[in-house]
Amino acid sequence: MSGSGELGRALRGWRDRTAPAAVGVPAGGVRRTAGLRREELAQLAGLSVDYIVRLEQGRATSPSAQVLSALARALRLSEAEREHLYLLAGQPVPGPGKVSAHIPPSVRRLLDQLDGAPLIACDASWNLILWNPLWAALFGDASAWRGRERNVAWRHFTCQASRVNYTSEQEDRFATALVADLRAATARYPTDTRLRSLINDLRAVSTDFARLWDSGVVGVHASHTKTFHHPDVGTLTLDCDTLTAPGSDLHIIAFTAAPDSTTADRLKLLDVIGTQTMTDDNSPK
- Compute CA 187 distance to the chain's CA centroid, rounded to the nearest angstrom: 22
d(CA 281, CA 143) in angstroms, rounded, equals 8
Q: How confident is the model at residue 44 (pLDDT cuts 50, 70, 90)?
A: confident
Mean pLDDT, rounded, for 118-122: 92
Mean pLDDT, rounded, for 244-270: 88
pLDDT at 271 exceeding the cut of 80: yes
Is this model's pTM higher than 0.95 or not? no
Residue 59 neighbours by CB under 8 Å, 6+ apart: 4
Domains in the chain, CATH or no CATH each? 3-88 (1.10.260.40), 105-280 (3.30.450.180)
Q: How far is CA 198 from CA 72, 150, 170, 225, 247, in A?
A: 24, 12, 23, 27, 24
pLDDT at 96 exceeding the cut of 70: no
Q: How confident is the model at residue 12 (pLDDT cuts 50, 70, 90)?
A: very high
Contact 151, 176 (CB under 8 A): no
Q: How confident is the model at residue 110 (pLDDT cuts 50, 70, 90)?
A: confident
Q: In what order do the strands lie in the sheet with 119-122?
A: 164-165, 224-230, 234-244, 251-256, 119-122, 128-131, 279-280
Q: How far is CA 137 from CA 72, 104, 141, 204, 271, in A?
A: 25, 25, 7, 32, 7
Containing 165, the helix (H) or strand (E) segment is strand 164-165
